[in-house]
Amino acid sequence: MTVLVLDTSAFIMGFNPTKSGEAYSVRAVEEELSAGTMPQLRFRMFSEKGELKVQAPSLRAEGMVEEASRKAGESGYLSKADREVLALALDLKLDGHEPVIVSDDYAIQNLAEHLQIGHSSLANFGIVHRFDWIMYCPACYRRYRPPEKKCRVCGTDLRRKVLSKKKATRS
């Protein structure tokens, strides 16, 4: 059964989970929404009415997301809410559901591709390629894995570039 996992951007864009079947999110998404705004009020209203299930992800799934983000080079580019949304979707997938993450965040979409989790965007076209990232020093060209920020040899601020890319499987 397909279920939706809503990221912060879904609430900012005014997505209505009542028209789409089962919908889930995490408490960190509510915390990421600005206090007293319509998106935060929308989150609270849907969760209080039972139309949005707010659920914490398992530690196992959080660990799997951390490992995948490290391997993909997204480590350091995902917020706590982003990581928890991905972990919750992974939990739902492991429980036999077909989760689709609703998010306009390219880093979330990229990692969802790596984890083979469906994703959908609201305000943009979504990713076309799944990327693996690497950090490099623009001065001495040494390579590092994220979340490294400075070159250990010359101290220059590192930049991020694509190491490899594959066609995304758009949901």
Count of the separate structural domains present in the chain: 2
Same domain assignment for residues 100 and 44: yes
Same domain assignment for residues 143 and 103: no
Q: What is the pLDDT of residue 149?
A: 84
Same domain assignment for residues 84 and 105: yes
pLDDT digits (tens, 9 = 90+) for 106-135: 899 999 999 999 999 887 766 677 777 788
Q: What is the pLDDT of residue 97?
A: 96
| Burial class of residue 120, CB neighbours in 10 A (0-12, 13-18, 19+) | middle
Q: What is the pLDDT of residue 170?
A: 55
Q: State whether the Cα torsion 126-33-148-62 is positive or negative.
A: negative
Q: The pTM is what?
A: 0.80
Name the DSSP class of 19. Answer: G
Query: Residue 79 is part of which domain span?
Result: 2-120
Same domain assignment for residues 146 and 102: no
